Structure 1
Amino acid sequence: MTGTVPGLPDGMRRVLAVVAHPDDESFGLGGLLALLSDRGVPTAVLCFTHGEASTLHGRPGDLHTVRAGELARAAQELGVKRVELAGHPDGGLVDVPLPPLAAEVARLIGEQCPSHLLVFDSGGVTGHRDHQRATHAAQFAARRAGVAVVGWTLPLHVADRLNAEFGTSFTGPDPAECHVVAPVPRGRQCRAIACHASQSSDNPVLWRRLELLGDRE
C-alpha cells in the first residue's frame, strides 16, 4: 500500500532515480529513496558510470568493480527494487552525446513505468558536470515521455556553509523555493552510505552535510 509522502508530489506511485555515480543514490538521494520505500513506493536506480575516477579509495581493489558491488548492497539497504549500472566514463559523462543517454533513461521509463523521475537538481548540487549531465539526460527523456521530474537540492544556507568550511562548490536555491521533506529515515540512509566504504570512510563533507540537514531534505 503506497502512502502520501509529505513534501513530495502526490501520486508518486513508482520512481526511477537517475544518477551519475555509485553512491549518488545513497549520499544524495538516500533519505528520499528510503522514505519512498518505507511508504511502499517501488523505486529503481539508473547509474551512468562505475565511479572509477574517484580520488577516494577507502577499500582495496579496482574501483570499477568495487563500486559496482557497493552500489548493489546500498540499493538493497534502501529498498530499491532494480539497479541498472551503465559503463560510461566517470568524469567524462558530459562528452557522451545527450540523445544516447536520454535513450537509456527512456528505455527504463518504458520498462518501469515510473510516475516520477528523481534526480539531482539541474546545477548538480555539488557542481560536478557528471551530475548535471545525468540530470539533463533524465529531463530530456522525461519531457518526451510526459513523466514528472523531482529534483533533490540543498538549501542555499547549507551549500554556503559547506563551501565556507571545506572550500567546496555546492549550489542551492533560497529555502523559500524548496519543498521540505521531513522526517527522512537517516538511519537507513546511513546504513546505505556505509555500504560505500570506498567513498564514505574518510568523507567529512558528507557527514557535515547530513549534520546540517538534520532529518530534513
Structure 2
Amino acid sequence: MPGDWQRALAIVAHPDDLEYGCAAAVATWTDAGREVAYVIVTKGEAGIDTLEPAKAGLVREREERASAAVVGVTQVEFLDHADGVIEFGTALRRDLAAAIRRHRPELVITLNPVDTWGGTYWNTPDHRAVGTAVLDAAGDAGNRWIFPDTEAEPWNGVRWVAVNGSDSPTHAVDVTSGLERGVRSLLEHRAYIEALTSEDPEEYARNLIEGFARESGERFGGRPAVTFRLFTR
C-alpha cells in the first residue's frame, strides 16, 4: 500500500464492518502516526435479532466506539441512515461527500461494493450501496459545483480509494504488529457476536481475524495481511 499519506477516512455501512475486515491494518497505521477516522452510515440497529432496534442501535454504537479506540481511532461519526434499507442515490452521495470534505483525507477506505463475496455469497444491499457511493463521493467531494451547500469546503485531495474485502485485491498491508488489536477490536462487538453464534466470542474473533490474515498473507509474501483493491484518483 502507498505510505505517503497522513489522513485516512473509513466509510462503511454498519458497526463491525471494519472490525471484520481491516481493523488490524488501521492499528498498524495509527501506530505509525497516521490519522484515521470512521464514518458509519447506520447504527446497525437491525443487526441483533433478539434486541429491538431502538435498543440495539445504542448498544452497537457503544461497541463501535470501543472497538475503534482499541486500534487508535478517536473520531467516529454515525450518519443515521436506516439499517438494512440504505438507498443508493444523490442523498447518500451528498452525505458521504460532506463527510470527506469535513475530514479531508488522502486515503478513503470502504467495503466490497460488488454483488458477491467470492462469487458464492450474496453481498448485502447496504454494503453495495455504500461502497459504490463512496467511490462516487470521492470525486464529488472535490467538485465545487456538486453539492455546493455542504458546510465544509470542497476537498480534491483524495488520492486513493481502498476497497477491503475485494475478490481481486491489488495491495496489502502487513499487519503482524496490529493483528492482536484487530482481534480485540472485533471482540468489542460482544453483544452482536453473542447473538450471532454460540461459539466463545474470543475464539470466534481470533479464528476469524487470524484466519483471514493468514489466508491473505499467502498471496502477499507469507506475512499476515489485510488486502485492498486500490483505486487511484
TM-score by length of 2: 0.71
Deviation per CA, 1:96-155: give whole Å up to 9, x if none. Answer: 24212122222222221100101113327461221111111111110222422011125x
Taking structure 1 as reference, are residues 13 and 208 closer, same or farther at Cα in structure 2, changes over 3 Å only? Answer: same
Q: Distance in 2 between matches of 1:43 and 1:191?
A: 18
Q: Which has the higher helix share?
A: 1
Tell me the percent identity: 25
User: Does the Cα contact within 8 Å between 1:57 and 1:199 map onto a contact in 2?
Assistant: no
Q: Which has the higher strand share?
A: 2
Instruction: Give structure 1 regions of 4+ aligned residues with deviation exceeding 6 angstroms.
Output: none
Unaligned residue ranges in structure 1 (runs of 5+): 1-7, 155-171
Which has more radius of gyration? 2
Unaligned residue ranges in structure 2 (runs of 5+): 143-155, 215-223, 227-233
Tell me the CA shift for residue 71 of structure 1. Answer: 0.9
Q: Distance in 2 between matches of 1:213 and 1:118?
A: 18
Residue among 114, 132, 135 paired with 1:136? 132
Tell me the CA shift for residue 24 of structure 1. Answer: 0.9
User: Does the Cα contact within 8 Å between 1:26 and 1:193 map onto a contact in 2?
Assistant: yes
Q: Supply the AA of the counterpart residue of 1:213.
A: A
Map of 2:113 onto structure 1: 122
Residue among 36, 41, 65 paired with 2:34? 41
In the alignment, structure 1 residue 108 sits paired with structure 2 residue 122: no
Deviation per CA, 1:157-176: give whole Å up to 9, x if none. Answer: xxxxxxxxxxxxxxx23xxx
User: Does the Cα contact within 8 Å between 1:47 and 1:86 map onto a contact in 2?
Assistant: yes
Alignment RMSD, CA only? 2.3
Q: How many residues align?
A: 186
TM-score by length of 1: 0.76
Taking structure 1 as reference, are residues 56 and 212 closer, same or farther at Cα in structure 2, changes over 3 Å only? Answer: farther
